[in-house]
Chain A
């Protein structure tokens, strides 16, 4: 059975303090690894899809990387508006189902 584990569960950063969120996974045949941002009271907002080890994608202050066992979401010089829950999900080859981790709740303070 696919498993996705995210760490830490919660992270508090000062504005400008860069850090990384981790998503480790176990899946037989990765089709894609997804990152989402979820604000309170809203649905998940799509950020990235990664497909193979070594792949990297960037969007503003966020960069996602992928290895054969885990993915990192690097946040460079975060701002308070980056505060949200970041969700990781995996999609197994041949299927469309996303299996989600429990998320990392990020709070960026002034």
Chain B
């Protein structure tokens, strides 16, 4: 299984600011994804981070709000821009497994916007 490290693990952010979350994987992976888990709700896919091209965003998510970088096959960042209290969530990095159709998740980044 892949080992996925996310930074920060937790942060309290001021309204109107932006925060960048990092995701580092211990092996090269083709697919990397970013999910959001709002309080009391399940996971929702924000976007697929594509290496060498722009991320592919799901309906309801836009690049200006959630810019994503994927400079190589082991690293990606998600920025949450101009934050409001509604952005308070867990943000999770996810990767496709190298053995069969397995998808692994990082420990998540818990953001609270005040």
Contacts and interface: CB of A to CB of B under 8 A. Distances in A.
Contacts of B12: none
A80 interface: no
Interface in A26-45: 31-32, 34, 36, 41-45
Interface string A18-60: 0000000000000110101000011111100101000000000
A103 B101 contact: no
Given A43-B108, A96-B33, A101 B42 contact: yes
A32 to B, nearest CB: 5
Contacts of A97: 33, 45, 48, 58
Contact of A98 (B41, B45, B97, B107): B45
Contact of A43 (B33, B41, B100, B105): B105
A43 B101 contact: no
A76 interface: no
A102 B42 CA distance: 5
A46 B45 contact: no
B101 A46 contact: no
Contacts of B67: none
A87 B41 CA distance: 11
A32 B1 contact: no
A44 B105 contact: yes
26 contacts: A31-B101, A32-B101, A34-B103, A41-B110, A42-B108, A44-B92, A46-B97, A46-B103, A46-B104, A49-B100, A49-B101, A87-B43, A89-B43, A91-B101, A96-B103, A97-B33, A97-B45, A97-B48, A97-B58, A98-B45, A98-B94, A98-B103, A99-B45, A102-B41, A102-B42, A103-B42
